[in-house]
C-alpha cells in the first residue's frame, strides 16, 4: 500500500470514527442544553477559559515531539511519560492554589470548588499523553479513534445522567473528569507499550527544545481563542457567557471532529514526502479539499440555517444564541481553511518560525476580537470572525516565506471552494429557511436548498467538478477501493510516490529535516554556535527554522531586559489606570416566579402549565417596557429614562420553568438591589392586573428579593491586571525580540560578526553567502 492509500485509509478510518463522535457530542449539546441553564454553562466556561492554558503546559509539546523523532528509544519514551505526568501534577498544584484568585477575578465565590475539581484533570491527561503519542507514532488510527469515541461517550453519558438528577453545572464538571479518566485507561489499554522507572542517564532535552517552541505557539493560539470568553464572562456575567459558550461549542464540535483527527493523519504522511515538492504539493492540495468543500461549506450552510437549527436543537429559550452562532460560523470558515497552514508548519518542523509570527499576529487578533466587546456577545462574535480572516491571510503569506510552499495555490483553491460552492449553498440555505415558520420545516427547506445549490455548482463549474471527483477518489481509497486507472499524463508522477515510500523504511512517522531546500534557508546552527549537521543524525526534533528556540527567547529577554521591563511597566500602568478611573458597576439579581397554587385536581393544574409557560414569556417581555419601568423610576426617584434603564436590565427564563431571573446593573451595590426588587415587585403588580382567569389566585407572581452584590462587575481589577500582565508580556517580548533583530540586521549591513545570544551567531560577509545553501 503506497502513501496515498495509507493517507486515504487513515483519513477514512478517522473520519468514520469522528462521525460517530460527532453524533455523540452533538447529542450531548442538545440534551444538556435542554436540561441545564445558560448560567450553568457560563459558570464552568469561566473556569475552563482560564485553566485550559494549563492543559497546554501539561503537554508541553512533548506528544508531537515524540511523534516527530526519527529514533525514539524505550528509555526516552519512559522519561517522556514521567515528564508529562510530573508537569501535569505541577499544573494541578498551581491551578488549585490559584482558585481564590480566579474566583476573585470574576467575583464569583462558587467557582472555588469547580477549580479544584477541574485541576485534577491535568494529572490524568498528563499520564495519558505518551500513550496517545505512541498510538499516533505507530499509525494506529483505529485504536486512537476508538479511544476518542469511547471516552467521549462515557463523558456524555455521565453528564446527561447527572443533569437529569438535578446536578446542575456539576454535570459538566463530571463530564470533563470522566473523559480524562476514560482517555487514560483506554489509551493505556490500546497501547502495547508500558513505561518503566525513570532513567536519569537518558536525556530528553531535545524533545523539550522542540516542544518549547510548539508550546509558545499553542499558548498564543489559546489566548486568542479564549480571550473572548474571559472578557464576556467578566463584563456580562455567566448567563451571557453561557449563550456565547453554547454557540461556540456548537461551532467547534464539527471543527474539532474533522481538523484535529485529520492532523494526526496528515502530519506523518506530509512529513514523509516533504523532500519531494511535487508530491508534497499534490498531497497538500488534496488534503485542503476537506477543509474547503466539507468543513467550510458545512459552516456556511449552518450560518444560513442558524435560526431554525438552534430552535430545533436547543429550544426557543436559546434564541439569543442565533446571531452569535451565525457570526462565529462565518469565522469558522477561515479557521477551517487555515488548518492547512498549521500542517505545513508541523510537517516541516517550523514550530519556531510559527512562534515568531504568532508573537506579532496573535496580539493583533486579540485586539480585533476585544474591539467588539461594547456590543456584547454578538459584537465579540463579529469581531472574532474578522480577526480570524486576518489571521488566515497573514499566515498564508508567512508560510510561503518560510517554507517555499505555493500558498497562492492554496489561496485560490480555498476561494474557489468558498465562493463557488460554500457561499452559494449558505445563501440559498438562508433563503430556504425563510419559506416556513415551523423550525423543523424551515431547517429541512434550508438544507434542501443548500443541496440543490451544491449540485448546480458542480454542474456549472468544471473546477468544482474536478475537486469533487478527487474527493470521491479519496473516499474510495478510504473504504478500500483501489484508485481509478490513471491517465497517461499522470504516470510520470506515480513512481515518485513509490520511490518516496521505498526510501521510508522505518515505520516511525517522520524525520524533521535539518534544512529545507529553499533559498531563504541556510545551514542550521545549534545552541552553542556549531553546525547542526551532527545533531540531525541523532533524530532529534530540532528547530528546523534555523532561528532561535523558545529558550533563546529567554536569553534575549535577559539581555534586552531594559526595554522588556519598560514596555511591561507601561502596559501595567495602563491597566492600573483603567481599574482606578473606570466607574464601578454592580449587578443584583431578583427572581419572579409564576405560582400555580394548589386549587383544583392534579390534572387541572397540569393542564394549566402550558398556559403558565406562555404567560411567563409574556411577562419577561413586559419587564423592560415603560409600563413597568416608569413607576419604578418615580418610586425610587431615578434620574434616568425608561429606555436607558431598560438597557441595564436583563431577563432570562431557565429551561421549561415559570421563573424569571432579573439582573440589574447600577453604579452602587445597594442601588442595584433596590432597582431589582422594585422592578420585580412592579412586574408582579402589573401581572396581577393583566391576569384574567376564573381562579386568579392560581396564577400570580411571587418575588424573591435580590441580595446586595459583594463584588463589582466592572471594573474587574483582578481581570484588568491579569489581562494587562498577559498583554504586557507579549508586547514586551515583541519589543525585546524586535530590538534584537534590529541589531542583527544593522550588524549584517556593516559586515560585522554578530554575537547576540539567541541569534544565529555567524559572520555575514555578504548577503549572497547567507542566501545560498
Return the higher-pLDDT residue of 380 and 752. Answer: 380
Place of cell 434542501: 448
Distance in angstroms (rounded) separating the CA atoms of residues 653 and 620: 8
Helices (H), 489-560: 494-503, 533-536, 550-559
- Residue 83 has which C-alpha cell? 515528564
Question: Is 590:705 a contact under the CB 8 Å cutoff?
Answer: yes
Give φ, ψ of 595 to 5 degrees.
-95, 135
Residue 284 scores a pLDDT above 50: yes
Residue 111 scores a pLDDT above 50: yes
* Reported confidence tier of residue 523, pLDDT bands at 50, 70, 90: very low
Of 667, 661, 697, 696, whose CA–CA distance to 679 is shortest?
Answer: 661
pLDDT at 708: 87
- Where is average pLDDT lowest: 226-235, 474-483, 716-725? 474-483
pLDDT single digits (tens) 285-344: 777 776 678 888 888 999 999 989 888 888 777 888 889 999 999 988 888 888 888 878
pLDDT single digits (tens) 127-166: 888 888 777 766 676 777 788 888 888 888 898 888 888 8
Place of cell 505541577: 90
Whether a cis peptide bond, with omega within 30° of 0, leads into 715 is yes
Residue 497 scores a pLDDT above 50: no
Average pLDDT over the chain reads 75
Of 587, 654, 656, 648, whose CA–CA distance to 623 is shortest?
Answer: 648
pLDDT at 141: 67
pLDDT at 29: 80
Question: Is 125:58 a contact under the CB 8 Å cutoff?
Answer: yes
The contacts found for 250-253 with CB under 8 angstroms, 24 or more apart, are: 250/29, 250/310, 250/313, 250/321, 250/325, 251/299, 251/302, 251/325, 251/328, 251/329, 251/332, 252/332, 253/22, 253/25, 253/26, 253/29
* Reported confidence tier of residue 759, pLDDT bands at 50, 70, 90: very low
Q: How many helices (H) and strands (E) does the chain have?
A: 29, 4
pLDDT at 317: 72
Sign, Cα dihedral of 176, 181, 184, 186: negative
pLDDT single digits (tens) 619-674: 888 888 888 899 999 888 888 888 888 888 888 777 667 788 888 888 888 888 99
Is residue 311 exposed (0-12), middle (13-18) or buried (19+ Cβ within 10 Å)? buried
pLDDT single digits (tens) 549-564: 556 667 788 888 888 8
What is the three-class DSSP state of 355? Answer: helix
pLDDT at 535: 34
Of the CA atoms within 13 Å of residue 641, those in its CB half-sphere come to 3
What is the three-class DSSP state of 138? Answer: coil
Question: Is 288:410 a contact under the CB 8 Å cutoff?
Answer: yes
Task: Name residue 660's beta-bridge partners.
Answer: 592
- Strand-pair category, 586-595 with 649-652: unpaired
pLDDT single digits (tens) 397-410: 888 888 888 888 88
Q: Strand order in 649-652's β-sheet? A: 649-652, 659-666, 586-595, 700-704
pLDDT cut 90: percent of the chain above it: 4
* Reported confidence tier of residue 448, pLDDT bands at 50, 70, 90: very high
Question: Is 418:454 a contact under the CB 8 Å cutoff?
Answer: no
Category of 679 on φ-ψ map: left (φ > 0), alpha (ψ -120 to 50) or beta: alpha
Please give the distance of CA 158 from its chain centroid, rounded to a whole number: 23
Distance in angstroms (rounded) separating the CA atoms of residues 12 and 425: 25
pLDDT at 318: 81
Return the higher-pLDDT residue of 192 and 419. Answer: 419
Distance in angstroms (rounded) separating the CA atoms of residues 443 and 653: 25
- Residue 21 has which C-alpha cell? 463522535
* Reported confidence tier of residue 675, pLDDT bands at 50, 70, 90: very high
What is the three-class DSSP state of 434? Answer: coil
pLDDT single digits (tens) 237-280: 777 888 888 888 888 877 776 666 666 666 666 766 667 777 77
Amino acid at each position: 500500500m503506497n502513501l496515498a492509500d495509507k493517507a486515504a485509509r487513515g483519513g477514512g478510518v478517522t473520519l468514520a470514527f469522528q462521525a460517530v463522535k460527532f453524533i455523540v457530542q452533538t447529542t450531548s449539546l442538545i440534551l444538556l442544553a435542554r436540561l441545564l441553564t445558560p448560567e450553568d454553562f457560563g459558570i464552568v466556561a469561566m473556569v475552563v477559559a482560564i485553566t485550559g492554558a494549563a492543559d497546554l503546559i501539561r503537554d508541553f509539546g512533548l506528544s508531537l515531539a515524540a511523534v516527530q523523532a526519527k529514533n525514539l528509544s524505550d528509555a526516552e519514551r519512559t522519561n517522556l511519560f514521567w515528564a508529562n505526568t510530573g508537569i501535569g501534577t505541577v499544573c494541578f498544584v498551581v491551578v488549585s492554589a490559584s482558585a481564590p484568585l480566579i474566583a476573585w477575578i470574576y467575583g464569583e465565590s462558587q467557582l472555588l470548588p469547580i477549580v479544584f475539581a477541574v485541576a485534577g484533570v491535568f494529572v490524568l491527561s498528563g499520564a495519558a499523553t505518551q500513550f496517545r503519542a505512541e498510538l499516533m507514532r505507530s499509525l494506529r488510527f483505529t485504536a486512537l479513534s476508538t479511544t476518542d469515541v469511547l471516552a467521549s461517550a462515557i463523558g456524555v453519558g455521565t453528564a446527561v445522567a447527572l443533569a437529569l438528577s438535578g446536578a446542575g453545572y456539576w454535570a459538566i464538571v463530571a463530564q470533563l473528569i470522566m473523559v480524562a479518566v476514560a482517555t487514560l485507561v483506554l489509551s493505556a489499554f490500546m497501547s502495547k507499550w508500558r513505561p518503566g522507572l525513570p532513567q536519569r542517564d537518558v536525556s530528553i532535552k531535545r524533545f523539550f527544545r522542540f516542544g518549547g517552541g510548539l508550546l509558545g505557539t499553542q499558548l498564543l493560539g489559546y489566548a486568542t481563542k479564549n480571550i473572548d470568553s474571559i472578557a464576556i464572562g467578566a463584563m456580562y456575567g455567566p448567563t451571557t457567557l453561557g449563550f456565547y459558550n453554547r454557540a461556540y461549542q456548537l461551532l467547534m464540535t464539527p471543527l474539532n471532529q474533522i481538523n484535529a483527527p485529520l492532523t494526526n493523519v496528515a502530519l506523518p504522511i506530509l512529513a514523509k514526502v516533504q523532500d519531494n515538492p511535487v508530491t508534497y504539493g499534490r498531497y497538500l492540495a488534496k488534503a485542503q479539499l476537506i477543509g474547503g468543500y466539507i468543513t467550510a461549506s458545512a459552516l456556511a450552510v449552518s450560518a444560513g440555517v442558524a435560526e431554525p437549527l438552534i430552535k430545533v436543537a436547543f429550544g426557543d429559550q436559546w434564541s439569543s444564541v442565533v446571531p452569535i452562532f451565525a457570526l462565529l460560523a462565518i469565522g469558522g470558515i477561515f479557521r477551517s481553511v487555515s488548518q492547512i497552514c498549521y500542517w505545513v508548519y508541523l510537517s516541516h518542523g517550523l514550530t519556531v518560525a510559527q512562534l515568531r509570527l504568532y508573537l506579532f499576529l496573535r496580539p493583533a487578533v486579540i485586539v480585533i476580537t476585544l474591539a467588539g466587546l461594547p456590543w456584547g456577545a454578538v459584537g465579540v462574535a463579529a469581531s472574532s470572525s474578522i480577526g480570524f480572516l486576518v489571521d488566515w491571510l497573514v499566515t498564508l503569506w508567512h508560510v510561503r516565506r518560510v517554507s517555499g510552499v505555493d500558498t497562492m495555490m492554496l489561496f485560490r483553491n480555498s476561494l474557489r471552494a468558498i465562493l463557488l460552492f460554500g457561499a452559494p449553498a449558505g445563501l440559498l440555505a438562508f433563503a430556504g429557511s425563510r419559506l416556513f415558520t415551523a423550525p423543523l420545516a424551515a431547517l429541512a427547506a434550508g438544507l434542501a436548498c443548500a443541496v440543490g445549490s451544491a449540485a448546480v455548482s458542480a454542474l456549472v463549474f468544471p473546477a468544482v467538478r474536478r475537486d469533487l471527483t478527487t474527493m470521491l477518489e479519496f473516499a474510495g481509497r478510504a473504504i478500500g477501493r483501489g484508485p481509478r486507472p490513471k491517465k497517461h499524463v499522470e504516470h510520470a508522477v506515480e513512481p515518485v510516490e513509490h520511490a518516496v515510500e521505498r526510501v521510508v523504511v522505518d515505520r516511525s512517522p517522520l524525520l524533521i529535516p535539518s534544512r529545507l531546500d529553499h533559498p531563504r534557508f541556510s545551514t542550521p546552527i545549534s545552541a552553542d554556535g556549531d553546525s547542526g549537521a551532527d545533531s540531525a543524525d541523532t533524530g532529534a526534533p530540532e528547530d528546523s527554522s534555523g532561528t532561535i528556540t523558545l529558550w533563546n527567547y529567554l536569553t534575549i529577554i535577559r539581555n534586552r531586559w531594559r526595554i522588556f521591563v519598560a514596555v511591561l511597566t507601561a502596559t501595567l500602568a495602563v491597566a492600573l489606570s483603567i481599574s482606578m478611573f473606570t466607574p464601578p458597576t454592580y449587578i443584583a439579581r431578583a427572581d419572579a416566579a409564576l405560582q400555580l397554587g394548589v386549587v383544583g385536581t392534579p390534572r387541572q393544574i397540569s393542564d394549566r402549565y402550558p398556559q403558565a409557560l406562555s404567560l411567563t414569556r409574556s411577562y419577561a417581555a413586559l419587564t423592560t417596557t415603560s409600563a413597568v419601568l416608569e413607576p419604578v423610576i418615580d418610586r425610587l426617584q431615578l434620574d434616568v429614562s425608561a429606555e436607558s434603564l431598560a438597557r441595564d436590565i436583563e431577563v432570562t427564563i431557565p429551561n421549561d420553568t415559570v421563573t424569571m431571573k432579573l439582573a440589574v446593573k447600577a453604579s452602587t451595590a445597594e442601588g442595584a438591589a433596590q432597582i431589582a426588587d422594585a422592578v420585580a415587585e412592579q412586574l408582579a403588580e402589573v401581572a396581577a392586573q393583566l391576569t384574567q382567569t376564573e381562579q386568579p389566585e392560581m396564577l400570580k407572581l411571587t418575588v424573591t428579593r435580590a441580595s446586595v452584590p459583594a463584588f463589582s462587575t466592572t471594573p474587574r481589577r483582578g481581570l484588568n491586571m491579569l489581562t494587562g500582565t498577559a498583554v504586557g508580556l507579549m508586547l514586551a517580548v515583541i519589543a525585546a525580540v524586535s530590538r534584537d533583530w534590529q541589531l542583527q540586521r544593522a550588524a549584517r549591513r556593516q559586515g560585522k560578526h554578530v554575537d547576540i545570544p539567541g541569534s544565529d551567531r555567524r559572520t555575514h560577509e555578504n548577503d549572497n553567502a547567507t542566501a545560498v545553501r
